[in-house]
Amino acid sequence: MASNPKSLGNRVGSLQCDNTTLHLLKANDFVANAIRQRLKNVCVINVCSSPGSGKTTLMQETGKRLGKDLNIAVLVGDPETDRDAVRMKEVGLNALQIVTGGMCHIEAQMILQALDHIDLENLDLLFIENVGNLLCPSAFDLGEDYRVTLLATTEGDDKPKKYPRMFLTSELMLVSKADLLPYVPFTVENVTQDAREVNPNIEILTISTLNGEGIDAWCEWLQARVEAKKAQIAE
């Protein structure tokens, strides 16, 4: 199996895990690798955050802006209801709800099963909107190419140090709800410093789906990753 920063081997060194946990993560990583093989022509983005950070609204806005240029699908994880998938479909996105039944994260096996129920033909970009949680999802590789974590300004700027594994395993942090910065005790400089102390390579964008700040840069980031994945396959 190719080395992956979210895989078991890169986690165990800093975790005290019993044998059951080790087996669970190892099995998950095996399935995640199978997903990568199946989606080798698709750029897969695992979108993580706390509840209410704006993941679904961002997916809707992304679909509106890129839907004409890219074939996009979304797998949406929630403990109950299909409300978020319905919201995706309202803007024309190919969306499927994964109801976890109370589980605080999505596991790779759920993604593998869901792939049988979405149209993968000519797919360019697959979003996995994970269950709202900064802790549990960080341990589970879902076969993604990139992990993106939203951190809303309403949450406070101390989260990268409180939930380091999520930011350690993310390629991009989106500081969302930037339109509220004048009204909340949140400093972009502080959160940037903390995030880069946890992960020096993490990229950071400040966005607002309300006023459009940073959304063009986000879409450009996505398009560049899709093009890079296609170029990699062509080699």
The pLDDT value given to residue 23:
74
The answer on pLDDT for 144 being more than 90 is yes
Answer whether residue 14 is part of any domain.
Answer: no
Answer whether residue 93 is part of any domain.
Answer: yes
The pLDDT value given to residue 10:
36
- DSSP letter, residue 107: -
Q: What is the pLDDT of residues 167-223, one digit of tens each?
A: 999 999 999 999 999 999 999 999 999 999 999 999 999 999 999 999 999 999 999
Answer whether residue 11 is part of any domain.
Answer: no
Answer whether residue 7 is part of any domain.
Answer: no
Total number of domains constituting the chain: 1
pTM for the complete prediction?
Answer: 0.89
Average pLDDT, integer, range 117-127: 95
Q: Which two tokens stand for residue 68?
A: 């004409």
Q: What is the rounded CA–CA span in Å between residue 28 and residue 119?
A: 23
Phi, psi of 127 (to 5 degrees): -95, 140
The pLDDT value given to residue 14:
33
Answer whether residue 141 is part of any domain.
Answer: yes
| Residues 140 and 105 sit within 8 Å (Cβ to Cβ) | yes
Answer whether residue 9 is part of any domain.
Answer: no
Domain of residue 103 covers: 21-232
At 139, the amino acid letter reads A
Which stretch of 4-8, 86-90, 150-154, 179-183 has the lowest confidence by average pLDDT? Answer: 4-8
- Using H for helix, E for strand and C for coil, what is the string for 40-74? CCCEEEEEECCCCCCHHHHHHHHHHHHCCCCCEEE
The pLDDT value given to residue 22:
58
The pLDDT value given to residue 16:
41
- pLDDT-derived band at 102 (thresholds 50, 70, 90) equals confident
- pLDDT-derived band at 1 (thresholds 50, 70, 90) equals very low
Answer whether residue 155 is part of any domain.
Answer: yes
Q: Which two tokens stand for residue 121?
A: 């033909």
Choice between 63 and 102, residue whose per-residue pLDDT is larger:
63
Q: What is the rounded CA–CA span in Å between residue 146 and residue 166?
A: 12
The answer on pLDDT for 4 being more than 70 is no
For position 158, which CATH number holds? 3.40.50.300
Average pLDDT, integer, range 139-163: 97
Answer whether residue 12 is part of any domain.
Answer: no
- pLDDT-derived band at 142 (thresholds 50, 70, 90) equals very high
The pLDDT value given to residue 12:
31
| Residues 190 and 40 sit within 8 Å (Cβ to Cβ) | no
The answer on pLDDT for 5 being more than 90 is no
